[in-house]
Amino acid sequence: MHGYHVLVLSSETGDAVLEFVDLPAMGADPLRKDLFVEVDWMWGGGHSHQPKPEALRIVRDAFARAPVPNADGSTGITLHIDAGWDYPMAPGPDKLWNTADDLI
């Protein structure tokens, strides 16, 4: 298994905890720049602020067009957006975030 040890903020204690995260299994490529973002949103009273998949695609595409070089000779940044369990983990893979529990 390939991955990295990263500091994550514990939701239970608020402390930074060193955890192993299998970033390649989440779509990361060691030869490209990857950015992982978690998007929280609220709902209630019949109203939702859930981001529209099309809006997230536009942001993801903008990062992909960024004029920054990668070790594999390509350009751009792969933006991985966790906007909830029903959203895809990365451009391309068919995994949803609801399958990520075994990666952390």
91 domain-assigned: yes
How are beta strands 43-44 and 77-82 bridged, if at all? unpaired
pLDDT at 33: 93
5 domain-assigned: no
pLDDT at 93: 52
Domain count, the chain: 1
8 domain-assigned: no
Measured distance CA(77)–CA(31) in Å, rounded: 11
Tracing tokens 């099309």 back to the chain, one arrives at 54
pTM over 0.85: no
Q: What is the pLDDT of residues 7-48, one digit of tens each?
A: 677 767 777 777 777 788 778 888 999 988 888 888 888 888
Amino acid making up residue 44: G
Structural domain of residue 47, as residue ranges? 26-103
Q: What is the pLDDT of residues 67-84, one digit of tens each?
A: 999 999 999 999 988 887
Better pLDDT: 94 or 83: 83
20 domain-assigned: no
39 domain-assigned: yes
